[in-house]
């Protein structure tokens, strides 16, 4: 095996009186691609800073092969002190590096090199920082959340660029797709220590569960051994009338080991507070258009959002994703066409900029609104400390100002605030930023179980594959196209972002789970059979008949004395109403499917 370019061993570090790293370490050899994973706050970025010699550990050793060139991408790059982005990138070049590569990389990342670093957005600063670390083609790259603030096309470019490099890499990222593509080994930082898996990230989650199950088994064995020793202490010592000092010491050691036994980390609880169901149609856009000046953001959009949909919105930065969200939720009006909202909507929005968080407010006051020590979670009142624990906050953090929380902790706090409010429409603008993998898993599970409708803007391809029932993707000239399924399904259907790859969205309809049969490959090859054509003609009459029957039964059941006067009729009417409502829903879904197929074939 080749000697490591970089080796960290037995690294310890204590922050604020609490050990953060306790014997952590890893090694990376030439050309190796390693990902460093762990929960928010576990010390991943700190360990990477120690690897980059930006921070000194309390103890342990760091070894870097002499002559090794190393570049680090921090989470928050500092571009101050440079006149232009090109100056900033060239400042990272070594004496033998070619300046033309700096300019070429900036161009590929959508920058000219003449930008003022003080006026850059978060995404532009991240792209400039990427150009700075990639331009020298170093022996070793340390990348801390390289996809943060990047749009989908740039993430895919970065993936290809990193695959083409010969550099060794250590990557911290919450982007599963990036880790699965790039990594060949995984280092898991958990409760101060590190474990290594010499396989790619695709194997990590199953391996992690195996490790935790093994630790639980070992802890159970310790419990049983302690019980045996305690039994001896109660009866053996009394019977012999003397104390065996050695065995007393062993029991104390066992108890200490049990206290330190590694258990699965405390789980995060995510559960959205529900409210009454919305109407079946949540939002309908018909030929809706929106422009800013001469630039079209949304052009001729036809879209139906049905109750229960999980609609993913994707596009390059500046494509108008947030504007589209605001149109679909009624916060902005279209310049032309119309957007109609359904009935009984209760909307909760998660803002990607986290502008609603007051840096000076404490965590407790943010959750309670500054009043008392309880949080209103839907119809239930809960103590703020218990609710904080659901989101992995420690009780002692209750008085912590929001401004000192990490990015991941602020993300969890925004989720805690949003999910406490009753809703039947969740609007999530970049909800995955700064969240660790475990929190992402639980957020996905919560969204899957959520009874309402979800609109989500995200650049996380894996998250969209796990959550979305359909994708609306940006194209040229403000055109948006809807595709059935997640991000991978969109790509399989020939979809892309910009560059003329996305056609105008017209006549989009969706089935019961929000998938756009009008845009799917299956719809493109099917024909309307005689039976389908007949059903398309008959279904409107069936729907009207079901609606009339439902109205009749509701009038019967509106008699407050019916149950007391005629319990059998009440039961028959209730059962008949449930059956009629189910038949109406089935007929509506069938009509939507056939109408979408007809429009696709005619289009």
pLDDT of the residue at 579: 82
Q: Which CATH number goes with the domain that contains 576? A: 1.10.287.380
In whole angstroms, how far apart are CA 180 and each of 25, 430, 523? Answer: 22, 21, 32
Q: Looking at the structure, tell me whether residues 249 and 152 fall in a common domain.
A: no
Q: Looking at the structure, tell me whether residues 98 and 243 fall in a common domain.
A: no
The verdict on residue 555 lying in a domain is yes
Last residue of a domain, one of 245, 260, 275: 260
Q: Looking at the structure, tell me whether residues 96 and 67 fall in a common domain.
A: yes
Q: Looking at the structure, tell me whether residues 137 and 241 fall in a common domain.
A: no
Q: Determine the distance from the C-alpha atom of residue 356 to the mean position of all C-alpha atoms in its chain, rounded to a whole number.
A: 20
pTM, whole model, 2 decimals?
A: 0.66
The verdict on residue 423 lying in a domain is no
pLDDT of the residue at 501: 31
The verdict on residue 235 lying in a domain is yes
Q: Looking at the structure, tell me whether residues 85 and 216 fall in a common domain.
A: no
- What the block records as the tokens of 216 is 């639980």
The verdict on residue 411 lying in a domain is no
pLDDT of the residue at 67: 92
Mean pLDDT, contiguous 10-residue spans, the chain (603 residues): 87 85 94 91 91 94 94 91 94 88 93 92 90 94 92 91 94 92 93 92 88 79 67 50 50 52 48 64 90 90 89 88 90 91 83 72 86 76 86 84 79 81 85 78 80 89 88 90 87 67 33 37 49 80 86 82 81 82 77 71 62
The verdict on residue 216 lying in a domain is yes
Q: Looking at the structure, tell me whether residues 160 and 236 fall in a common domain.
A: no
Beta strand segments in 115-250, E: 140-144, 168-172, 185-190, 193-197
pLDDT of the residue at 559: 79
Residue 17 belongs to what domain range?
4-205
Q: Looking at the structure, tell me whether residues 24 and 159 fall in a common domain.
A: yes
The verdict on residue 215 lying in a domain is yes
pLDDT of the residue at 352: 57
pLDDT of the residue at 588: 75
pLDDT of the residue at 171: 96
Q: Looking at the structure, tell me whether residues 181 and 233 fall in a common domain.
A: no
Last residue of a domain, one of 161, 179, 205: 205
Q: Looking at the structure, tell me whether residues 169 and 99 fall in a common domain.
A: yes
CB 237 within 8 A of CB 244: yes
Backbone dihedral angles phi then psi of residue 399, each to the nearest 5 degrees: -95, 10
Q: Into how many domains does the chain fold?
A: 3
Q: Looking at the structure, tell me whether residues 54 and 114 fall in a common domain.
A: yes
The verdict on residue 394 lying in a domain is no
pLDDT of the residue at 484: 85
DSSP for 125-160, written as a single string? HHHHHHHHHHTT--SEEEEESTTTT--HHHHHHHHH
Q: Looking at the structure, tell me whether residues 66 and 169 fall in a common domain.
A: yes
Q: Looking at the structure, tell me whether residues 145 and 190 fall in a common domain.
A: yes
The verdict on residue 417 lying in a domain is no
Q: Which CATH number goes with the domain that contains 174? A: 3.40.50.300
């Amino acid at each position: 095996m080749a000697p490591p370019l970089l080796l960290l061993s037995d690294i310890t570090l204590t922050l604020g009186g609490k050990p953060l790293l306790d014997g952590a370490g890893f090694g990376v050899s030439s050309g190796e691609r390693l990902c460093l994973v762990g929960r928010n706050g576990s010390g991943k970025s700190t360990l990477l800073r120690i690897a980059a010699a930006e921070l000194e550990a309390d103890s342990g050793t760091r070894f870097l092969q002499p002559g090794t060139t190393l570049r680090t991408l921090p989470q928050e790059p500092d571009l101050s002190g440079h006149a232009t982005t090109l100056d900033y990138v060239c400042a990272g070049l070594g004496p033998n590096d070619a300046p033309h590569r700096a300019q070429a990389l900036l161009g590929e990342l959508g920058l000219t090199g003449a930008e003022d670093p003080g006026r850059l957005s978060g995404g532009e600063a991240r792209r400039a920082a990427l150009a700075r670390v990639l331009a020298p083609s170093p022996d070793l790259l340390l990348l801390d959340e390289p996809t943060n603030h990047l749009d989908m096309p740039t993430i895919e470019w970065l993936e290809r660029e990193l695959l083409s490099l010969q550099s060794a890499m250590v990557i911290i990222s919450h982007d599963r797709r990036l880790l699965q593509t790039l990594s060949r080994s995984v280092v898991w930082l958990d409760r101060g220590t590190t474990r290594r898996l010499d396989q790619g990230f695709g194997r990590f989650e199953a391996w992690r569960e195996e490790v935790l199950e093994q630790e639980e088994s070992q802890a159970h064995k310790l419990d049983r051994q302690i019980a045996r020793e305690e039994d001896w202490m109660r009866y053996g010592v009394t019977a012999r009338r003397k104390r065996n000092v050695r065995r007393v010491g062993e029991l104390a050691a066992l108890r200490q080991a049990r206290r330190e036994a590694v258990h699965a980390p405390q789980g995060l609880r995510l559960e959205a507070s529900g409210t009454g169901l919305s109407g079946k149609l949540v939002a309908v856009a018909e030929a809706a258009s929106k422009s800013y000046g001469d630039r079209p953001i949304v052009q001729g959009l036809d879209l139906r959002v049905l109750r229960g949909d999980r609609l993913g919105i994707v596009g390059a930065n500046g494509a108008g994703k947030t504007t589209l969200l605001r149109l679909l939720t009624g916060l902005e009006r279209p310049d032309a066409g119309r957007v109609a909202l359904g009935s009984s909507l209760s909307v909760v929005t998660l803002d990607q900029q986290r502008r609603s968080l007051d840096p000076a407010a404490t965590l407790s006051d943010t959750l309670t609104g500054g009043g008392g020590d309880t949080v209103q979670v839907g119809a239930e009142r809960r103590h703020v400390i218990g609710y904080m624990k659901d989101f992995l906050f420690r009780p002692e953090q209750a008085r912590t100002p929001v401004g000192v929380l990490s990015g991941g902790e602020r993300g969890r706090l925004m989720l805690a605030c949003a999910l406490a409010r009753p809703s039947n429409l969740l609007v999530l603008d970049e909800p995955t930023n700064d969240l660790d993998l475990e929190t992402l898993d639980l957020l996905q599970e919560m969204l899957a179980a959520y009874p309402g409708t979800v609109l989500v803007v995200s650049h996380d391809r894996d998250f969209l594959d796990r959550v979305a029932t359909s994708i609306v993707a940006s194209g040229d000239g403000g055109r948006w196209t809807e595709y059935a399924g997640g991000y991978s399904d969109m790509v399989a259907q020939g979809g892309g972002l910009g560059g003329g790859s996305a056609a105008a969205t017209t006549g989009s309809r969706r089935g019961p789970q929000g998938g756009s049969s009008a845009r799917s490959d299956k719809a493109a090859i099917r024909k309307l059979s005689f039976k389908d054509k007949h059903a398309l003609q008959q279904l409107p009459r069936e729907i009207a008949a079901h609606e009339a029957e439902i109205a009749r039964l509701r009038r019967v059941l509106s008699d407050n004395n019916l149950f007391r006067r005629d319990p059998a009729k009440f039961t028959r009417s209730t059962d008949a109403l449930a059956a009629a409502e189910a038949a109406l829903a089935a007929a509506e879904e069938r009509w939507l499917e056939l109408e979408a197929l007809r429009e696709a074939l005619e289009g």
